[in-house]
Structure formats: C-alpha cells, structure tokens
C-alpha cells in the first residue's frame, strides 16, 4: 500500500511515521509513504502558496494551482487516479470501518490543508473524500493524516505480527480492550488479579470478556448497542 501525502510540511509526515511499528513497516516495504511538497508546484515567484480570501476575513487561503499541479504530477506518474482524501474538520469523522475500507486500496492520496482553508475549486476538482479525525480543531491536516495512515497501515498485511492483528479484532467486536498486567505480581500493594496467574485458559477468557464489557459500560456506553 502506498500513501502519497500532499503537504507544506513533508518533514513532519516523514519524521512522524518513521518510528516504531509504522517505521518498521516502511523499512520492510509493507507500506510506502511519500510526502509531496506542495510548495514545489507553485508558479509564483517567492514560492507563494496562499493568498487573502475573496470577500475578506481572517487568515490566508491555500491557492488551487499548486495543489492541482502536485496532484497532477502524482496521477501522471502512477498512471491512475487513486482516491483523494482531504483532511478537514468539515469532513466525515474517521472510524475503524473507514480504515478497513481504505486499507483495501493500493494507493491513497492525502491532502493536508493549512491556514484558514483551501480554495474550494481545487477541492471540487480532485477530492473524493473529506475526512476529520474528531470534533476539535487542529492547526493543520498533518497530524490527522498521520493518525489515519497509522490506523490504515495496521490493517495492511505484513505490518503487524499475526499475534497483534488478532488482538485488533477486539475493538472491531465493539468492545474496549480488557486490562493487562505484567511482572511483578505485586506493585505498590496491588496484586495482579488471581485468575491471570491460574493458568486456567477458559476462566481467563471469561474474566477478560467481563472486564471488557464492564470497561465499555463505564467509559463508552455509546458503543454497547452495536453488540448483542
Ligand atoms: Cl482532519 N484537520 C484539522 N485541521 N483539524 C481537525 C481535523 C482535521 N480533524 C479534527 N480536527
């Protein structure tokens, strides 16, 4: 799977994804992340990529031309026109099912906005999906793009070990994860739940299921109607 990220801050994307599991996935070539610097596609002197909004108002708006030219260079090189996701708080809210669908794609183009927004005309021309990562406002689309790439990548074959991918099924069943413990058996007077030391796999399984349910009831009751 290949991610093509159009951004004014390519180093933020590349640095942000080059550590831990996603960093390893890139090394292993299970995924590929390319950052395309929108500024490289401006035709204006001084490398300008934004301008004042027509109609007035605060802030600057990213111009259509460099974004369009950056997109054109990607699709020409690929010889096909992949889905284009624009990261924006005005989008549909990202969730696990969306990640699963995007993970089926061979290529994804992600557009990161900055300033007060992007000229609507280029969005009309190239964007297929408007996606937000939640109901709060960030300064740019780069962190949301990294969040989405991380989540999609862990659904791609070869990124997680088998053991870990099985683990990921739990959230897809609609429950939060059960609590985990490791050595020592006692920490500040608190003991690891006895059942986990018992070696009785059926009991452990049942305990974990109960804990997952309890935790979901307490923290995310909104998730519960989704399971029977
Ligand atoms: Cl995708 N972009 C920005 N700028 N802010 C956000 C967001 C995206 N999702 C939530 N807040």
Residue range 19-33, pLDDT digits in tens: 999 999 999 999 999
Using a 6 Å cutoff on CB, does residue 134 contact ligand 1? yes
Is 62's pLDDT higher than 60? yes
Provide the whole-model pTM. 0.94
In short, whether 190's Cβ falls inside 6 Å of ligand 1 is no
Determine contact, residues 157/25, Cβ cutoff 8 Å. Answer: no
The residue nearest atom 3 of ligand 1, judged by CA position, is: 138
The whole-number pLDDT of residue 164 equals 63
Question: Which atom of ligand 1 lies at the shortest distance from residue 131's CA?
Answer: 1
Closest residue CA from atom 11 of ligand 1: 137
Domain 170-226, CATH: 1.10.1270.20
Whole-angstrom Cα Rg for the chain: 22
pLDDT at res. 228: 54
Cβ of 123 below 6 Å from ligand 1: no
Name the DSSP class of 158.
T
C-alpha span between 56 and 73 (Å, rounded) = 32
Check pocket membership of 136 for ligand 1, CB cut-off 6 A: yes
User: Where along the chain do the CATH 3.40.1280.10 domains lie?
Assistant: 2-153
Beta carbons within 10 angstroms of residue 121's beta carbon? 13
CATH 1.10.3720.10 for domain 2-153, yes or no, is no
| Digit-coded pLDDT (tens) for 168-219 | 555 657 899 999 999 999 999 999 999 999 999 999 999 999 999 999 999 9
Residue-wise pLDDT for 96-113, tens only, equals 999 999 999 999 999 999
Distance in Å, CA 119 to ligand 1 centroid: 17
Intervals of CATH 1.10.1270.20 along the chain: 170-226
Ligand 1 atom closest to 134 (CA) = 10
Question: pLDDT class for 165, splitting at 50, 70, 90?
Answer: low
What is the sign, positive or negative, of the torsion defined by CA atoms of 12, 16, 22, 24? Answer: positive
- Given a cut of 50, whether residue 135 has pLDDT beyond it is yes
SS3 87: strand
Best residue among 141, 148, 150 to mutate for probing ligand 1, ranked by most atoms within 8 Å of CB: 141
Tokens for 196, please give them.
Answer: 């986990």
* Three-state secondary structure call for residue 196: helix
Question: Is any atom of ligand 1 closer than 6 Å to the C-beta of 87?
Answer: yes
């Amino acid at each position: 799977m290949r991610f093509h990220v159009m951004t004014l801050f390519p180093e933020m994307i590349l640095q942000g994804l080059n550590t831990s599991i996603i960093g390893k996935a890139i090394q292993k070539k299970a995924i590929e992340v390319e950052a395309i610097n929108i500024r490289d596609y401006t035709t204006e002197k001084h490398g300008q990529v934004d301008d004042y909004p027509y109609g007035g108002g605060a802030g600057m708006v990213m111009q259509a031309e460099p974004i369009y030219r950056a997109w054109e260079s990607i699709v020409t090189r690929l010889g096909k026109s992949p889905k284009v996701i624009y990261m924006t708080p005005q989008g549909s809210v990202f969730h696990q099912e969306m990640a699963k669908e995007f993970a089926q794609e061979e290529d994804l183009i992600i557009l990161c906005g900055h300033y007060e927004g992007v000229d609507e005309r280029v969005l009309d021309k190239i964007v297929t999906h408007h996606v937000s990562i939640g109901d709060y406002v960030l300064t740019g689309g780069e962190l949301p793009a990294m969040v989405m790439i991380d989540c999609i990548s862990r659904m791609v074959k070869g990124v997680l070990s088998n053991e870990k991918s099985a683990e990921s099924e739990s959230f897809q069943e609609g429950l939060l994860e059960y609590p985990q413990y490791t050595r020592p058996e006692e920490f500040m007077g608190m003991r690891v739940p006895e059942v986990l030391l018992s070696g009785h796999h059926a009991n452990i399984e049942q305990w974990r299921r109960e804990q997952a349910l309890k935790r979901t009831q307490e923290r995310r009751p909104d998730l519960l109607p989704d399971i029977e």
